[in-house]
Amino acid sequence: MNIVVNEKGVATPELSEKQVKIIIQNWLRIFHIKLGWINEFDKMVAKYAKYFQILNVLKGHNGEINSIKFSLNGRMIVSSSDDKIICVWDIKSEKQTKYFTGHFGLINNAAFSPDRQKIVSGSADKTIRLWDVESGRELMKLEGHSDWVRDVNFSPNGELVVSGSGDRTIRLWDVKSGKEIQQMLGHSNTVLGVQFSHDGKMIVSASVDETIGIWDVKTGERLKELIGHSEYLWRAKFSPDDQFIVSCSKDKTVRIWDVLSGKQLKVLKGHLDIVTDVQYFADGQTVVSCSRDKTIRLWDVKSGKEVQTLEGHPASVSGIDVSPDGNIIVSCSWDKTIRIWAIVKIATEISGVVIFYVTLKSSFKTGEPTKMKNKLVNKILLKKCIIFAKKRSKYPTTLFHKQFLLIFQMLSFINKPLRTPDKWYYYIYYHY
């Protein structure tokens, strides 16, 4: 998929010839079968026309929230806060289901184990704790750091925990025994972020010393030191294929690095304050970041362009995560709330293909076009659609004119799952 950037610097995806042909085939099919939802087209729109919108705001913490993480199946999230409490939330019901107490200081981070049975947390009390998700019981307390534990994460197989601390060390812990098995030395200041690679062979670290470290899990050796940020780093994360690293910093930038060469590939600029967290989408094509400027921003990896800004938190956004399927973003903030952002399927003009999502109730069925002769859409129905879209849509309806044909950029958004597909139709017109 190519990205087209207009004169204003706005990036939009451009479909390939093959994808355009699929859309045209679906356009032709719609008039030979009973009107309804075509799965292939729906999947294409979901993939190439993503747009996030606020879904809900979760409240429950009494202090600033420092981290938010999805479980591997995307059904739960875990949050940590200055109120010394860890909370587990159910994504479907949007309710708090569990909470854990035991730390004596604010909790900087918490994360699920891959099997979702445990949670690991790191605190200002200098300890790491393991919790049983089902019972809420503290399983183990890992001690050894001499300063705040700033970040903690499980290995992909769930057998190890990595921690980063204000004592400048990175430590590996055996989950079964609770013993420290490796200590990685090299940073000259606080280690704020640590993460395993997806194959479990490497660790990436982000430090106040303005460097990123790539470490060998087996030997504890620092394989590479990445230098480029002009202020301290907050987080660094591997891409899904472990070939790249994305980092964020006090210097207000997000940067992408090549793991093999250690070279900086892109600098993403747009945030107006410290960038506090960053995360790849599962497809590796999009990065999401958050900042003390109170915004969340999505970036196209290939072009380096910002593709969307999410606003709503009235205070610094301290953490973000993306669901495994890429359809939900969760964010946490110093405003003591968690926000859930979900994809809205939008009708948009992509590479000359105009897609119409038209919401039609039973009263509109009399106006359904029976033919598509010479690419003319029934104008009476379209007129009704314009009126309907203006009344129902929260977003402007844009009209395009070419000769005497009416085409639309967007008519409406689908904000809820399709429970009655027979009442939802779309019309597609290929615009030369």
* 32 and 71 share one domain: no
Q: Write the Ramachandran bin of 210: left for phi over 0, alpha for psi from -120 to 50, otherwise beta.
A: left
Per the prediction, the chain carries an average pLDDT of 77
Residue 23 has pLDDT above 90, yes or no: no
Tokens 């003591």 -> residue: 336
* 363 and 324 share one domain: no
Q: Given this model, what pLDDT does residue 426 score?
A: 36
Q: Given this model, what pLDDT does residue 344 score?
A: 62
Q: What is the mean pLDDT of residues 412-427?
A: 32
- Tell me how far apart the terminal alpha carbons of the chain are, to the nearest angstrom: 20
- Per-residue DSSP letters for 301-332? TTT--EEEEEE--SS-EEEEEE-TTSSEEEEE
Show which of 343, 371, 386 is a domain's final residue.
Answer: 343
CATH of the domain at 317: 2.130.10.10
Query: Residue 282 and residue 241: Cα distance in Å, rounded?
Result: 9
* 371 and 401 share one domain: yes
Within a domain: residue 3? no
* 224 and 89 share one domain: yes
* 213 and 316 share one domain: yes
The highest-confidence range among 185-189, 411-415, 422-426, by mean pLDDT, is 185-189
* Neighbour-count burial of 320, counting CB atoms closer than 10 A to its CB (0-12 exposed, 13-18 middle, 19+ buried): buried
- Domain limits at 106? 52-343
Instruction: Dihedral sign for Cα 345, 349, 351, 353, please.
Output: positive
* 255 and 146 share one domain: yes
Show which of 325, 343, 361 is a domain's final residue.
Answer: 343
Q: Given this model, what pLDDT does residue 12 score?
A: 40
* 320 and 195 share one domain: yes
pTM of the model: 0.72
* 157 and 201 share one domain: yes
Total domains in the chain come to 2
- Token digits for 114? 């891959």
* 37 and 181 share one domain: no
Q: Residues 413, 395: contact at Cβ < 8 Å?
A: yes
Q: Given this model, what pLDDT does residue 50 score?
A: 59
Give the pLDDT band of residue 210 (cuts 50, 70, 90). very high
Q: What is the mean pLDDT of residues 1-5?
A: 43
Within a domain: residue 8? no
Query: Residue 334 and residue 292: Cα distance in Å, rounded?
Result: 9
Q: Given this model, what pLDDT does residue 343 score?
A: 79
Helix (H, G, I), strand (E, B) or coil at 92: coil
Residue 410 has pLDDT above 90, yes or no: no
Question: Tens digits of per-residue pLDDT, 92-124?
Answer: 888 999 999 999 999 999 999 999 999 999 999
Beta-bridge partners for 392: none
Question: Tens digits of per-residue pLDDT, 37-53?
Answer: 334 444 444 444 457 88
* 326 and 413 share one domain: no
* 332 and 410 share one domain: no
Q: What is the mean pLDDT of residues 54-78?
A: 95
Q: Given this model, what pLDDT does residue 53 score?
A: 83
Amino acid letter for position 26: N
Show which of 276, 311, 343 is a domain's final residue.
Answer: 343
